[in-house]
Homo-oligomer: A and B are copies of this chain.
């Protein structure tokens, strides 16, 4: 159950404070140029400790390719990515060892498995998402060859919405904000929470441009369903929308429906997907992240033995997970598209003939 995807798929392993975290990617087509440098650059976008809006914790993660790439080119065999943890087991976890941090996975891992690695959240730590970004980088290399572009940015922090969606600007923003005008207010929202030893929620937009028509496998591997599943598998996400999403419930069909013209769709309320299949328009996904559960205020909780107690979390944590979360959303979207590209190839007899007929 630690595997995602069907044709382009990956499996991750590793705990926050174990020896290493890693991923095996299965299904990368042979003949793709792959460099550790590109993967590293993608990973660095998710790196914390670079400014005051994320955790001051340093993670100088260095990714390594262990297999599947020969002379810089993929061979079609599994690609193994690994990051060795640098500060494993270095910390004192006695304060959280026997209690359940509120709104963390401590409680549920305990009841599901009986035995859990409590250090830094173990397997349930968001540290695992580093591997998703690594895998996403390889997916992006495939997409690049076909001209498909995936971008992301932070849309809303607390009450502060972006009024503009500038995905180019987001790349340069310290908080990956989509709106230069609203960015300062969004930053203040984060600092206000941080200074109160608290945290704040936020939302992230991903847009996918130049997707071919026809991606998505109805009825139970629809493009929108799998994109949402991908986003909802990211730590702290509580909701996911396609196109206008929740706004659409207040609309009439005559307003919502996207008229079609010779030169394309007149609007894109559907967010680029109809009947679970891409229609060639921009694919638009919004993911909603709850506030970071780790706050530095005393909270009520219980011990493993079901005794009432309180906990006060130490350590360093992002005041707003949505910021670095945007990089993870972008990676997961890239992975879904790579998977769908491969799955779609066999859906027409004409395609089989193109490849097999002499």
The stretch among A40-48, A49-57, A169-177, A346-354 that forms the contact with chain B is A346-354
A308 at the interface (CB under 8 A from B): yes
Return the contact of A77 from the options B100, B123, B252 (Cβ within 8 A): B123
Report the minimum CB–CB distance from A20 to chain B (whole Å): 5
Main secondary structure of the interface of A (DSSP, over half): mixed
By the criterion CB–CB under 8 Å, are A262 and B156 in contact? no
Known interface pairs A20-B66, A66-B18, A212-B356; A2-B146 also in contact (CB < 8 Å): no
B66 lies within 8 A of A14 (CB): yes
| A window 219-259: CB within 8 A of B | 219-222, 224-226, 228-230, 232-233, 235, 238-246, 248-259
Q: Would you give the 0/1 interface string for A277-317, flagging 1 where the beta carbon is closer than 8 Å to chain B?
A: 11110000000111111110101111000111000000000
Q: Determine the distance from Cα of A239 to Cα of B262 in the docked complex, in whole angstroms.
A: 29
Given A224-B232, A261-B308, the answer on whether A76 and B245 have CB atoms closer than 8 Å is no
**A67 is an interface residue with CB less than 8 A from chain B:** yes
Is A270 close to B, CB under 8 A? yes
A158 nearest CB neighbor, chain B only = B250
B-contact bits for A67-81, CB 8 A (1 contact / 0 none):
110110111111110
> Mask for A172-213, Cβ within 8 A of B = 1, else 0?
000000000000000000000100101111110000000011
Does A266 sit at the interface, judged by CB under 8 A?
yes
- Taking the closest CB of chain B, its distance from the CB of A312, in whole angstroms, is 12
* A274 close to B (CB within 8 Å): yes
* Given A4-B220, A12-B78, A70-B117, 12 more pairs with CB closer than 8 A: A1-B217, A2-B78, A11-B11, A15-B70, A31-B114, A74-B349, A76-B115, A105-B276, A108-B213, A146-B357, A238-B246, A355-B355
Query: What are 11 A-B contacts with C-beta separation under 8 Å?
Result: A1-B27, A13-B24, A21-B67, A32-B349, A75-B123, A108-B273, A156-B249, A224-B232, A253-B295, A261-B300, A269-B290
